[in-house]
Amino acid sequence: MTNCFSRRRFLAGATLAPWLAREAAATFAAEPSAAHPILDIHVHLIGAGDNGSGCRLSAAIQKGPLFTLLVDKLQLRQRAATLDEGYVLALAEQLQQSGLDKAVILAQDAVYDDRGRLDARRTHFYVPNDHLLQVTARYPKLMIPCVSVNPDRADATEELDRCVAKGARVLKIHPPIQGVDIARPKHAKFFRRCAEEKVLVMVHTGHEHSGPVIDIELARPEKLRLALDQGCMVVACHCGTGRPTDRPDMLPEFLKMLREYEKQGNLWGDTAVLGGFGRSRDFERLLADDLAKTRLLHGSDFPFPPVPLGFAGKIGKWKAAALQLDPNMLRQDFALKDALGVARPSAERAYGLVCGKARLPAG
């Protein structure tokens, strides 16, 4: 964070925070009735597998400070007998109070070896597609399932078809954590199938700080070319961004590709985690690009929290301090990006793309 606050100013902001948080929530209701609905395209489902969900979180993640913070902040152990059910209840509550119309909820496939077999040892974070589909079926008015299929798995196309048959129309791949090179020619068949089924393909690009990384080079935006060239509609999650100390700098690569695929029109980026710690510089660089602003889709990366204080130089110290204390992270993330001038158009655009509207709202 680049801005410092005196203790007196921070306490004053904290005193005003509940009122300002209510004001932020009221802005959704105050929108004209003709406004387009809004959607968050990047919300994670997580679990430890303590209720038979099949989820997996490694000890390294569960013992980490971020996970400990999230368990406490979302009161997961107070909500239910199991952490997995506590998370589902917390997610539903956050969505219901966020002002969003819908959210895309993400599964997370495993790591697979060179023969396409599950590699449990290297899989630190796993959310099965069946668990995702069961959870989203409980909240159909709020949640849209985004299944996850690692193209390296031996039955990748079969799993894709199975999920499509169950209604899935969005898919997520996380190359640096799942250890998959999506640019390998052998994956062309998989991506052609995605294109044929009109499945929106979301791919992590840029740097990763929430879990063990197998190979950060797998997160380069240029790896998206194979999927794009097979006709897939592709979302470059995080737009190839990172923190100022991260190397290599992948954002220019994403911006270059936007121009290469501008006529084809099938490359998008989402704003997931861009309101978080250390991303303010790259977010500002992204918003300075006129073309990029028209290709952005709103995403929070929940439950990873935004850090409004990191943007105090842009949105003002008082507003940043108030937003920092909003207990609803989805609303907090939207309000931060709204203050930066990008939330509503990107959230309307995301709804139009995911929910199949013929006309997307203008940028």
What's the average model confidence in pLDDT over 333-349?
97
Q: pLDDT per residue over 162-215, tens digit each?
A: 999 999 999 999 999 999 999 999 999 999 999 999 999 999 999 999 889 999
**Spatial CA neighbour of 76 closest among 47, 56, 110:** 47
Full residue range of the structural domain in which residue 319 is found: 37-354
Residue 41 backbone dihedrals phi, psi, to 5 degrees: -90, 0
The whole-number average pLDDT for the span 74-99 is 97
CA 363/CA 358 separation, integer angstroms: 15
Q: 10 lies in a domain?
A: no
Mean pLDDT of 246-259: 98
Q: How many domains does the chain have?
A: 1
Is 84 domain-assigned? yes
Q: What is the pLDDT of residue 205?
A: 98
Q: Is the pLDDT of residue 8 over 50?
A: no
Return mean pLDDT, the chain.
91
In a domain, 101, yes or no: yes
Q: Do 152 and 112 touch, CB atoms closer than 8 A?
A: yes
Task: List the CATH number of the domain containing 153.
Answer: 3.20.20.140
Cα–Cα nearest to 342, from 294, 304, 282, 309 = 294
pLDDT digits (tens, 9 = 90+) for 263-289: 999 999 999 999 998 999 999 999 999
Task: Answer yes or no: is 134 within a domain.
Answer: yes
In a domain, 11, yes or no: no
Q: Give per-residue pLDDT as tens, 25-83.
A: 554 444 444 478 999 999 999 999 999 999 999 998 998 888 999 999 999 999 999 99
Give this prediction's pTM.
Answer: 0.91
Q: Can you tell me the distance from the alpha carbon of 199 to that of 74, in angstroms, rounded to the nearest whole number? A: 32
